């Protein structure tokens, strides 16, 4: 490496290419050492990217198609101040890193770019997300400030909404009812609210007679929040619904409206938080406020508060309906990676006018391209 | 009464009025002896009816407003062959009869009208519904044929759909996965299907890892049915969703799409079956087939199979979105009673163009008017 660096001082432009080549070889060997599952993911992503190249060879005005590090780097250097990353399906496929993801983040931090990790997963709070990313990516220097889980955007939204009357006196404190995880409850509690949660240990049914005589220790509430709750029951739906009925001014807040996610080797569709939100919207007649992607509210929380220009920002994600839509509705560049839920056939449907999902401004096989 | 009947033979038209008067006095005393809760219901319904009379005094082409037995009887005698009744909020408010409901049914059966009891409640099967009505109304001569619970319309729909290939050999029998009550499962089993149900005793959560390793003993299935399930859990949502994913041809069937019902003295909104349907529609991307009110499929099952003319039929119900909509979409008269969930203010909103709910063709305070 010393030889290469000396050579670089003498012939900078040629050597940058050589250095990049050396880096690529090192990164590729890192990729080879990762689990065979993630290697499969990269191979499949590359195959999908080949289909994209064929697809767009026939159309004018295609999105930018990044197949090399150089294409990505040039764009990032010139046009971006901030890069926002979706996590699952982009930086890792639990529990493994997507090869090159850590290198990508390291390079951006070295280049003094603003980096944020924006996830619709409300199950973890910022501290937990930071710890997970640090472990999976092996990158130093990740701070809590960079973590934007939807549990955080939810507590931020609540804080701003109730700010004029925030009060830590428990008798008058604002009360938030949460259908969601303990991580979400904790984040909202830390923002100064009194949180009531469904009792996960009470898995009994809720008959008409049960609801007629329920005494509602949760009442009164100032808002109902729905985060991803793997312990969701009809009982929780009943309680949340009557709480909303009793305070017609209380907003219904969704940490996200995701419809499903993929789990397991055979890509089973696990229902997302949006399903529970839709159930509660239907019974209560309310429309939920979404504080997760693709809501512009989230962009205001991440970018607006820091005075970052959206037009010099980019979201990197694997989902059209959340990540790419988030980019579009917030005026950011939107980059799709093919290591998650979106396939070339879905993009083809947009091209053919058979789908109304948003078209990304950039497509790359995997985030390692940005490394 | 013997004197009255002799008198009737001599002067039939005058005496019919007298007999009606005597009947009314008897009925009113029956009403007085019923519980104070149902007496309150009748008083409130009468107050709402007064508002209706004031409201429609200012408008052309109002619905028929029935305030007396005579108005109802004349219409029924002349124009109707079949009368369909919604049950809860119309014939009873659990556990009490709406005063006059039993008399109403008795009179219609005596007049040889076709009578059906049509409920979106899929928790009970036909036998259970018959037994409940017999007990609450105290009417003899109610037969199973008159009972049209949505569990029955569901099993009828399935029977017709799979009729060409119905097979009782357990190895090739059609398999229906049910998110609903045991009564619903029983009705579908009796129609010749193999039924898999969510295990109510398994109330454990369903994490991503749990779903990734679940072995799906329910698989394969030919349809997924959602009936009202007070033991609904996220686990059941996950299982139903992946079963639909595995058979893209399997229909998703809803016994009804009700959004909520009222329970308790303070009219708490208990979420209806439609909430769970919406959750599963959202995760699976399917659109459910509704076999309950207001679906025309249900009218085909009740009227079509018996060759009854919808234009000489009437549905009596308390809900605009199910009962009255059912009448409209099936070409029947639709009569609203005010002993259930609908108030005069909702009708006023339709009149003023502030609501898109359907306008009934007839409004009466309570079903006792038809007695």
Nearest Cβ partner for B232 among A233, A260, A268: A233
**CA B83 to CA B73: how far, in whole Å?**
12
- Token representation of residue B287: 């659109």
Residue A212: its pLDDT value, please? 94
B interface test, pick of A95, A121, A203, A287 with most B CB neighbours within 10 Å = A203
Helices (H) and strands (E) in chain A, counts: 14, 16
Residue A348: its pLDDT value, please? 95
Phi-psi region of B348 (alpha: psi -120 to 50; beta: other; left: phi over 0): alpha
Residue B126: its pLDDT value, please? 87
b/e map of B188-220 (b: 16 or more CB within 10 Å)? beebbbbbbbbebeebebbbbeebeebeeebee
Lowest-pLDDT range of A223-232, B102-111, B164-173, B237-246: B164-173
Phi-psi region of A31 (alpha: psi -120 to 50; beta: other; left: phi over 0): alpha
**CA B12 to CA B5: how far, in whole Å?**
9
Four-CA torsion B136, B140, B141, B147, nearest 10 degrees: 0
Q: Do B278 and A274 touch (CB under 8 A)?
A: no
Q: What are phi and psi of A300, to 5 degrees?
A: -60, -40
Residue A166: its pLDDT value, please? 60
Spatial CB neighbours of B227, under 8 Å, sequence gap ≥ 6 = B122, B123, B150, B151, B154, B178, B179, B180, B181, B184, B255, B273
A206 touches chain B (CB under 8 A): yes
Closest CA to B139 of B89, B113, B100: B100
Q: Sheet with B175-179: list strands edge to edge.
A: B194-197, B175-179, B223-226, B252-254, B289-290
B264 touches chain A (CB under 8 A): yes
Q: pLDDT of A94-141, one tens digit each?
A: 779 999 999 999 999 999 999 999 999 877 788 889 999 999 999 999
Spatial CB neighbours of B28, under 8 Å, sequence gap ≥ 6 = none
Q: pLDDT of B230-251, one tens digit each?
A: 999 999 999 999 999 999 999 9
* Alpha helices, DSSP H, located in chain A: 2-10, 12-33, 36-57, 69-79, 101-110, 126-137, 150-162, 182-190, 208-213, 234-246, 273-284, 296-302, 325-330, 344-351
Q: Do B241 and A212 touch (CB under 8 A)?
A: no
Nearest Cβ partner for A245 among B265, B269, B279: B269
**CA A222 to CA A297: how far, in whole Å?**
20
Contact B367, B316 (CB under 8 A): yes
How much is the mean pLDDT over chain B? 88
Contact A100, A90 (CB under 8 A): no
Residue A151 CA: distances (Å) to CA of A37, A48, A54, A160, A366: 30, 33, 40, 14, 27
The residue from A60, A77, A81, A258 that is catalytic is A81
Residue B165: its pLDDT value, please? 62
B242 touches chain A (CB under 8 A): yes
Residues of A in contact with B231 (CB under 8 A): 205, 233-234
Residue B23: its pLDDT value, please? 42
How much is the mean pLDDT over chain A? 88
**CA A134 to CA A109: how far, in whole Å?**
14
Residue recorded with tokens 């609501």: B355
Residue B183: its pLDDT value, please? 87
The residue with greater pLDDT, B165 or B138, is B138
Residues of B in contact with A231 (CB under 8 A): 205, 233-234
Q: pLDDT of A244-257, one tens digit each?
A: 999 999 999 999 99
A171 touches chain B (CB under 8 A): no
User: Is pLDDT above 80 for A300?
Assistant: yes
Residues of A in contact with B256 (CB under 8 A): none
Q: pLDDT of B258-311, one tens digit each?
A: 999 888 889 899 999 999 999 999 999 999 999 999 999 999 999 988 999 999
CA atoms within 13 A on the CB side of B163: 6
CA atoms within 13 A on the CB side of A248: 1
Residue B34: its pLDDT value, please? 54
User: Is pLDDT above 70 for A202?
Assistant: yes
**CA A105 to CA A85: how far, in whole Å?**
9
Contact A293, A89 (CB under 8 A): no
**CA B197 to CA B179: how far, in whole Å?**
6
Q: Do B233 and A229 touch (CB under 8 A)?
A: no
A233 touches chain B (CB under 8 A): yes
Residue B6: its pLDDT value, please? 40
User: Is pLDDT above 50 for A15?
Assistant: no
A355 touches chain B (CB under 8 A): no
- The stretch A59-66 carries a mean pLDDT of 91
- The stretch B34-55 carries a mean pLDDT of 88
End-to-end CA distance of chain A: 19
Query: Cα distance from B118 to chain A (closest Cα, Å)?
Result: 20
**CA A283 to CA A256: how far, in whole Å?**
18
A interface test, pick of B124, B202, B229, B238 with most A CB neighbours within 10 Å = B238
Burial of A237: CB neighbours in 10 Å, binned 0-12, 13-18, 19+:
buried
Q: Do B282 and A275 touch (CB under 8 A)?
A: yes
- The stretch B328-355 carries a mean pLDDT of 95
> Under DSSP, is residue B95 helix (H, G, I), strand (E, B) or coil?
coil
A261 touches chain B (CB under 8 A): yes
The DSSP 8-state label assigned to residue A255 in this structure reads S
Residue A235 CA: distances (Å) to CA of A81, A157, A201, A241: 47, 27, 12, 10
The DSSP 8-state label assigned to residue A88 in this structure reads B
B interface test, pick of A123, A183, A238, A262 with most B CB neighbours within 10 Å = A238
Cα–Cα–Cα angle for B321, A274, A146, rounded to 5 degrees:
150
Q: pLDDT of B86-133, one tens digit each?
A: 999 999 987 789 999 999 999 999 999 999 999 998 777 888 899 999
Residue A262 CA: distances (Å) to CA of A39, A268, A287, B5, B208: 18, 5, 26, 76, 9
**CA A284 to CA B275: how far, in whole Å?**
10
A95 touches chain B (CB under 8 A): no
User: Is pLDDT above 90 for A231?
Assistant: yes
Residue A18 CA: distances (Å) to CA of A11, A13, A29, A68, B225: 10, 9, 17, 14, 62
Q: pLDDT of B214-231, one tens digit each?
A: 999 999 999 999 999 999
User: Is pLDDT above 90 for A18?
Assistant: no
Residue B1: its pLDDT value, please? 40
Lowest-pLDDT range of A211-225, A237-251, B8-22, B221-235: B8-22
Length of chain B, in residues: 371
Contact A84, A119 (CB under 8 A): no
The residue with greater pLDDT, A279 or A40, is A279
**CA B123 to CA B181: how far, in whole Å?**
5
Size of interface A-B (CB pairs under 8 A): 134
The residue from B40, B60, B77, B81 that is catalytic is B81
User: Is pLDDT above 90 for B51?
Assistant: yes
Contact B337, B45 (CB under 8 A): yes
User: How much of chain A, in percent, has pLDDT values that exceed 70?
Assistant: 89
Query: Cα distance from A272 to chain B (closest Cα, Å)?
Result: 7
Q: pLDDT of B320-334, one tens digit each?
A: 999 999 999 999 999
Residues of B in contact with A271 (CB under 8 A): 234, 237-238, 241, 279-280, 282-283
Angle between helices B273-284 and A273-284 (to 10 degrees): 150
Q: What distance separates the 2 farthest-apart alpha carbons in chain B? A: 84
Closest CA to A257 of A284, A226, A229, A286: A226
Residues of A in contact with B203 (CB under 8 A): 203, 233
**CA A176 to CA A251: how far, in whole Å?**
10
Q: Do A282 and B263 touch (CB under 8 A)?
A: no
Query: Cα distance from A188 to chain B (closest Cα, Å)?
Result: 23
Spatial CB neighbours of A358, under 8 Å, sequence gap ≥ 6 = A320, A324, A325, A327, A328, A334, A350
Closest CA to A161 of A225, A207, A74: A225
**CA B264 to CA A130: how far, in whole Å?**
47
Nearest Cβ partner for A264 among B211, B229, B259: B211
Query: Any bridge partners for residue B209, and if so which?
Result: none
Query: Any bridge partners for residue B149, and if so which?
Result: B119
> Under DSSP, is residue B71 helix (H, G, I), strand (E, B) or coil?
helix
- Token representation of residue A250: 């209380």
Residue B172: its pLDDT value, please? 78
Give the residue on A whose Cα is nearest the Cα of B260. A283
- The stretch A342-359 carries a mean pLDDT of 95
Catalytic: B81?
Answer: yes
- Token representation of residue B96: 């009490």
End-to-end CA distance of chain B: 18
Residue B214: its pLDDT value, please? 96
Query: Any bridge partners for residue B179, and if so which?
Result: B226
Give the residue on B whose Cα is nearest the Cα of A260. B283
């Amino acid at each position: 490496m010393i030889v290469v660096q000396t050579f670089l001082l003498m012939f900078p432009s040629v050597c940058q290419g050589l250095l990049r080549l050396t880096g690529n070889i090192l990164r590729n060997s890192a990729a080879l050492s990762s689990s065979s599952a993630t290697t499969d993911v990269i191979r499949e992503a590359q195959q999908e990217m080949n289909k994209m190249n064929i697809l767009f060879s026939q159309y004018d005005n295609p999105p930018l198609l990044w197949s090399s590090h150089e294409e990505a780097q040039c764009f990032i250097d010139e046009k971006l101040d901030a890069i926002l990353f979706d996590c699952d399906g982009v930086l890792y496929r639990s529990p493994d890193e997507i090869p090159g993801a850590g290198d990508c983040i390291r390079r951006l931090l070295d280049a003094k770019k603003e980096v944020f990790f924006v996830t619709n997963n409300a199950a973890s709070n910022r501290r937990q997300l930071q710890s997970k990313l640090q472990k999976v990516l092996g990158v130093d220097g990740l701070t809590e400030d960079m973590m934007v889980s939807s549990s955080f955007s939810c507590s931020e939204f609540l804080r701003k909404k109730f700010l004029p009357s925030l009060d830590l006196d428990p008798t008058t404190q604002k009360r938030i009812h949460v259908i969601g995880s303990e991580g979400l409850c904790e984040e909202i509690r830390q923002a100064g609210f009194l949180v009531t949660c469904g009792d996960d240990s009470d898995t009994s049914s809720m008959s008409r007679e049960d609801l007629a005589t329920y005494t509602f220790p949760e009442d009164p509430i100032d808002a109902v929040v729905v985060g991803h709750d793997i312990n969701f029951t009809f009982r929780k739906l009943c309680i949340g619904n009557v709480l909303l009925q009793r305070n017609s001014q209380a907003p219904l807040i969704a940490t996200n409206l995701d419809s499903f996610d993929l789990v397991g080797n055979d890509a089973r569709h696990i229902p997302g938080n949006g399903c529970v939100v839709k159930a509660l919207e239907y019974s209560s007649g309310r429309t939920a406020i979404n504080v997760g992607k693709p809501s512009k509210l989230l962009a205001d929380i991440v970018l607006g508060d820091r005075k970052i220009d959206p037009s010099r920002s980019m979201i990197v994600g694997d989902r059209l309906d959340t990540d790419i839509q988030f980019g579009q509705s917030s005026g950011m560049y939107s980059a799709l990676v093919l290591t998650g839920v979106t396939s070339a056939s879905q993009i083809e449907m947009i091209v053919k006018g058979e789908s109304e999902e948003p078209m990304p401004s950039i497509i790359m096989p995997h985030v390692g391209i940005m490394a």
